[in-house]
Structure 1
Amino acid sequence: MLRFRIKQGIYRVFDVSVVIVVLFVMGCIYIVTYGEAVLRNNPEVITKVSSTVIKDAAGAEITRFRTQSKGFTEYADLEDMPDLLVQAFLATEDRRFYDHDGLDYIGIGRAVAQDVIHMDWSQGGSSITQQLARNLYLNGEKTLVRKVNEMSIALSLEKRFNKDELLEMYLNHIYMGRQQYGVKAAAWRYFGNEDLHQLELWQIATLAGIPKGPSIYNPVDDYERSKQRRSVILTLMHEQGLVTKGQMLEARQVDYTPPAAGMSAAGEYNKPDYISAVDAVIQEAARLTGKRETEIQSAGWTIHTGLDSQAQLAMEETFRETSRFTDDREDQQVQASMVIVDQHNGEVKAMMGGRDPVTGGINRAIKDARQPGSAFKPIIAYGPALESGRFSPESMLPDKRISYGSYQPSNLGGQYRGSVSMSLALQKSINAPAVWLLKQTGLEAAHVFAGRLGIELGQEDLNLSIALGGVHKGISPLKMAQAYSVFANDGKYNTAHLIREITDADGQIIYAHKPENKQVIASSTANAMTKMLRNVVSQGTGSRAQLSHDQVAGKTGTTQAAVPGVGRDGNRDLWFVGYTSKWTAAVWMGFDHTDAEHYMRSGSGNAADMFATVMRRAAQ
């Protein structure tokens, strides 16, 4: 009986040993193969990803984008990082990094002991390579399975990359709080510092202390804890001979001051916030490069624009003044959009796509959706007539009720003067002479003229009603500003654009705008039009657009509501398009959807007044 029990015990020990060996072998196979499979199936994870940055005309940062998979990041090569910064992270996170194969067995042993004591597997013991594995491929879940997977990926990373490559990836992918990934993004966010070599010791220690608790040790969310953590890091650095005692004590005492307003990333900018303009910049970049918008945001590009901060601020301040929008209803507010273009080179200086723009929302400044009314007359009627050489501002035009087949235009108020000069007809925005002039010049010639100004019209617009702004598809403020900019620029055309230049993460130029300044209409036509449009502002319908510091040339535009139950004094679209010696601008006001309850009671003078206010503030 005793012999049988001994034999039975031996068999059990053998069985258990076999099971242990099998499990061990299976575990080894899993650790070896899992990490390799993860790396093989996710090659895009280790690509160099950086947030694309947009800058204004002065080179100041407007915004930087979240990457597709993370928050804000800016990749930096290891040689672009100061040695003290690198050593601070090694001293803090993994001092034996260059001596192990991805797993710090001393650290793991210490962590396992703590795990057994607490029975919750809460201790990490993670090397830098393990942290990189977790940051790239896993979540923050604290489980045994996740830990094993982390170790497997870490071993595979060590096989595929050398130590410097791993350290560079770690320092670029580590989460640093406030949606910042990597030391360079964090240095910019917390200190407004683009050059890592300019970091001071206390800043380096602050950054090195963040990974242990990104939400509590970053200096923005908890300044006191951040300072205490900085002190711990400085002590470690001193103990390892990286800094002297005097340097340690001095760096401990520095108080944190956030970067100046407008310098930080994460969308935490003071006004102006450029929402409409930024959307338009990305759309333009996608059109120019053939890249998807989401790709561009993570491409690490720097997009240089001609946007002017003062002009944008002036526009946003003016749009926030509710007293300008007296036609607001309780259930719906009046909308507005505006764009300013530099007629000398076509650069967009400022843009608002609505009163309360949201990222990805409707950008009314670039959407071809609105009837321009009488603001279209210089483009389609008076401009072509002047260009033909048959008419001048002094030419007398009939101001009579005339039928053109089934089409019979009428003057506002039913008043007819018999005949008026071209200049007076434009100044008073009289309808009948404009239609007659378009008939004399010819629709084909008028379409060609508009095309030279950047407005392409379709076959459905081959009718005389276009003389009064009855455009089938509608026109955007951007296109109206671009068209008027030709008059302002002595007959020379420049494509309205936001982007000056795009450079990649290595500083190489991907795209650069080529200046045009192409003569598309006679300078005599442009000068005559400017003279007439100045009369419109000084003596006619655009009087509210006047400025004390510069002469304004421009034209109002109004389209009637044309809704059952709404009288002829109800309007749909209010416009003013005009220019100074410096800039050209277009303003539109109205409801997104006009009906019997939502229409404009005010006139185009409101749009002219908005033009004047913005241009005045932009010049201050």
Structure 2
Amino acid sequence: MLRVFYTGFDLAVIGVLLLLAMLFYVRVYGETVVSRQAGKLVLDQSSVITDSEGNVLRRIPLPESGYRTMAQLEEMPALLIDTFLAVEDRRFYSHQGLDYTGILRAAINNTVNFRVTEGGSSITQQLARNLYLNRDKNMLRKLNEASIATALEKRLSKRDILQLYLNQIYMGRGQYGIKAAAEYYFGVSDLKKLEISQIAALAAIPKGPSIYNPAENNAVSEGRRELVLGIMQQRGLISPQQMVAARKQKYQPPEEAETEVAGASYIDAVLKEASRLTGKSREELQTGGYRIKTGMNTDIQKTLEQAFRNTDVFPPDGKNQQVEAAMVILNHHTGEIAAMMGGRNPQTGSLNRAIIDARQPGSAFKPIIDYGPALESGNFTPSSIVPDRKQSYGSYSPGNLNGVYRGQVSLNQALQQSINAPAVWLLKQVGICSARQFAGKLGLELPQEDNNLSIALGGLHNGVSPLKMAQAYSVFASGGMFNEAHTISSITNAHGRVLYKHVSSQRQVISARTAESMTFMLRNAVNQGTGKKARMNIPVAGKTGTTQAALPGVDSKANRDLWFVGYTLDWTAAIWMGFDRTDKDNYMTAGSGMAAALFSSVMNKAIAVRN
């Protein structure tokens, strides 16, 4: 008997010690985890990018490839909150993280059924598991879950825990939280407009998000919704009549929204600009619940994307590369970028050719570096006569196309016919320093490597982007006023606080006389010169640009870059065409008239849809 007594005593002591150790573990583990990973209590949520009218262009997915839109408890109807409590944790306000009654009931039912049919987890435990743990079913995970739940109850108020839970919980189909689910399944953004049947459907989901979400629209999901409606009626949340009426309602998915504007290039430019303006990383901007309002004109963007899908408007592809293109359209009165394409088939994260300074502008650069500075100097007008003859400037000997020289021409004629010799002569007369300063006023800062006469014909060290070319020409279009090209109108954080709002810094950078004269000359270049294919039934001013491939063993007519930059009364646009890598197997024989024709096609349709 003594031996049995001592053995029992020893076992009891060991049991007590194990219990104390477990209690100590539960107390310490949860506190440690929550303290070290406090950032998990701030939920990521999808940022939203809108067009100029506030229409949603893109909800940015979270790292887990889902979507979350945060909502405060005050935004939720009381019936929604009470229903979730009734279904998931009816003793939420009376326990301290662990519902012992629920745990005991689940243990008994699981024993009776000889399998795990109930979990008994409180809302706090569910939150702890979703935030910090995996879904493995073992005793250690349940112990850790209980420990973290206890720590959360000590750190947070019941209100905070409930709000976190309702925003964090997975609701199927890539939707996280009540608000995202309501928008996805029912098209309801204002949660207080949810109907009883919709609330029941939402509360039915957490038990099995993949099978109980209403979009499955089958007997299983309907049965779960009816069970929830029964609980709502039993708890006195709705009347029997309301329950019967709600059960009769069939799930109606929201009308499918119009296919999203792809806008991959535009969105890429927006995120780069937002990062520069706020100092936040791309990831922070995508997951911080920001609302970024842009200047995108959806109709013009759609028109541009539709045009880029037409292979007939582009030169033939090369042996192993597709001819690429990029285009930017901006409102020169405001500087807002209305539309952008960074490639023929732009994808998220792909090369955005519209904003990279990488291409040689050819003769499209002449108004910026030759004729503009000459007019601004006051020593030249469109009718001024300049020499057109073969000249050498040290080791630099530029030549006219086809070797034809006219002796002398007017500035207007020289630009209209894109003659090289007068352009280089003008730059020499004005001075490279003055010309570079003029270009800088148009937003084109040239490096020291460009301190040479070859820039007169668009031979640049780094190249230039369609965006910067459009920015420069927009100054001519707006009477000499500089409006900084931008994609973003405002940035608002998840709490509605405005972090950034674009304020126009419009300023006169060149004389109105210079801008007027340049517009006169560029309209002649379109009406009678190299840009004829850009003509429309409204006045168009613009300039083509071509750079030769200059590859050994390749046709001398082979081209590397094709440009057209021009403007109407309201819009300025720049187009580039070419191969990413020009070589003996991939070059163009088409001329810049193709870029001019695309300008006309896009702008005609853009103006039509806007009107």
TM range (shorter): over 0.9
Say which of 94, 102, 117 aligns to 2:89: 94
How far residue 271 of structure 1 moved from its aligned partner, in angstroms, is 4.0
SS of 1:33's partner is helix
User: Pairwise mapping of residues 551-570 of structure 1 onto structure 2 (< 5 A)?
Assistant: 551-570=539-558
Between stretches 407-416 and 327-336, larger displacement belongs to 327-336
How far residue 475 of structure 1 moved from its aligned partner, in angstroms, is 0.4
Say which of 329, 346, 360 aligns to 2:335: 346
Say which of 351, 355, 360 aligns to 1:362: 351
How far residue 232 of structure 1 moved from its aligned partner, in angstroms, is 2.3
User: Pairwise mapping of residues 179-190 of structure 1 onto structure 2 (< 5 A)?
Assistant: 179-190=174-185
How far residue 142 of structure 1 moved from its aligned partner, in angstroms, is 1.9
Identity over aligned pairs, percent: 55
Say which of 323, 327, 339 aligns to 1:334: 323
How far residue 99 of structure 1 moved from its aligned partner, in angstroms, is 1.9
What is residue 504 of structure 1 aligned with on the other side? 493
Q: Which amino acid aligns with 1:557?
A: G
Task: Tell me if structure 1 keeps the 8 A contact 2:102–2:120.
Answer: yes
How far residue 170 of structure 1 moved from its aligned partner, in angstroms, is 0.6
User: Pairwise mapping of residues 541-552 of structure 1 onto structure 2 (< 5 A)?
Assistant: 541-548=530-537, 550-552=538-540
Distance in 2 (alpha carbons) for counterparts of 1:108 and 1:419: 97
Distance in 1 (alpha carbons) for counterparts of 2:250 and 2:560: 57
Q: Which amino acid aligns with 1:18?
A: V
What is residue 604 of structure 1 aligned with on the other side? 592
Q: 1:111 to 1:534 in 2, by over 3 A?
A: same
How far residue 388 of structure 1 moved from its aligned partner, in angstroms, is 0.9
Q: 1:252 to 1:576 in 2, by over 3 A?
A: farther
Query: TM-score if structure 1 supplies the norm length?
Result: 0.94
Q: Which amino acid aligns with 1:564?
A: P
Say which of 239, 242, 247 aligns to 1:244: 239
How far residue 126 of structure 1 moved from its aligned partner, in angstroms, is 1.0
Say which of 432, 456, 476 aligns to 2:465: 476
Distance in 1 (alpha carbons) for counterparts of 2:297 and 2:30: 50
Between stretches 250-259 and 301-310, larger displacement belongs to 250-259
What is residue 25 of structure 1 aligned with on the other side? 20
Say which of 59, 74, 84 aligns to 1:79: 74
1:393 partnered with 2:382: yes
Q: 1:324 to 1:224 in 2, by over 3 A?
A: farther
How far residue 500 of structure 1 moved from its aligned partner, in angstroms, is 0.7
What is residue 154 of structure 2 aligned with on the other side? 159
How far residue 261 of structure 1 moved from its aligned partner, in angstroms, is 4.1
Distance in 1 (alpha carbons) for counterparts of 2:325 and 2:145: 54
1:432 partnered with 2:427: no
Distance in 2 (alpha carbons) for counterparts of 1:381 and 1:467: 6
Distance in 2 (alpha carbons) for counterparts of 1:466 and 1:18: 91
Distance in 1 (alpha carbons) for counterparts of 2:219 and 2:569: 54
Task: Tell me if structure 2 keeps the 8 A contact 1:271–1:313.
Answer: no
Deviation string for 1:571-615 (max 9, x for gaps)?
111111111111111111111111111111211111112222222
SS of 1:220's partner is helix
1:201 partnered with 2:225: no
Distance in 1 (alpha carbons) for counterparts of 2:324 and 2:451: 30
- Structure 1's unaligned 5+ residue stretches are 1-5, 263-268
Between stretches 323-332 and 465-474, larger displacement belongs to 323-332
What is residue 581 of structure 1 aligned with on the other side? 569
Distance in 2 (alpha carbons) for counterparts of 1:70 and 1:356: 23
Q: 1:18 to 1:299 in 2, by over 3 A?
A: same
- The number of residue pairs the alignment matches comes to 608
Task: Tell me if structure 2 keeps the 8 A contact 1:344–1:517.
Answer: no
What is residue 503 of structure 2 aligned with on the other side? 514
How far residue 324 of structure 1 moved from its aligned partner, in angstroms, is 2.6
What is residue 3 of structure 1 aligned with on the other side? none
Task: Tell me if structure 2 keeps the 8 A contact 1:335–1:354.
Answer: yes
What is residue 314 of structure 1 aligned with on the other side? 303
Task: Tell me if structure 1 keeps the 8 A contact 2:43–2:168.
Answer: no
Distance in 2 (alpha carbons) for counterparts of 1:109 and 1:186: 32
How far residue 18 of structure 1 moved from its aligned partner, in angstroms, is 2.3
Distance in 1 (alpha carbons) for counterparts of 2:444 and 2:53: 30
Between stretches 304-313 and 205-214, larger displacement belongs to 205-214
Task: Tell me if structure 1 keeps the 8 A contact 2:354–2:465.
Answer: yes
What is residue 410 of structure 1 aligned with on the other side? 399
Task: Tell me if structure 2 keeps the 8 A contact 1:216–1:222.
Answer: no
How far residue 411 of structure 1 moved from its aligned partner, in angstroms, is 1.2
Q: 1:319 to 1:234 in 2, by over 3 A?
A: same
1:42 partnered with 2:13: no
Distance in 2 (alpha carbons) for counterparts of 1:274 and 1:418: 49
Query: TM-score if structure 2 supplies the norm length?
Result: 0.96
Q: 1:551 to 1:245 in 2, by over 3 A?
A: farther
How far residue 212 of structure 1 moved from its aligned partner, in angstroms, is 1.4
1:135 partnered with 2:139: no
How far residue 259 of structure 1 moved from its aligned partner, in angstroms, is 3.5
How far residue 7 of structure 1 moved from its aligned partner, in angstroms, is 3.0
Say which of 414, 430, 441 aligns to 1:452: 441
Say which of 475, 483, 489 aligns to 2:478: 489
SS of 2:293's partner is strand
What is residue 593 of structure 1 aligned with on the other side? 581
Task: Tell me if structure 1 keeps the 8 A contact 2:320–2:586.
Answer: no
SS of 1:563's partner is coil
How far residue 190 of structure 1 moved from its aligned partner, in angstroms, is 2.4
Task: Tell me if structure 2 keeps the 8 A contact 1:575–1:589.
Answer: yes
Deviation string for 1:54-85 (max 9, x for gaps)?
11101001112234567322222212211111
Distance in 2 (alpha carbons) for counterparts of 1:314 and 1:391: 40
Q: Which amino acid aligns with 1:199?
A: L
Distance in 2 (alpha carbons) for counterparts of 1:436 and 1:255: 78
Task: Tell me if structure 2 keeps the 8 A contact 1:121–1:142.
Answer: no
Q: 1:611 to 1:69 in 2, by over 3 A?
A: same
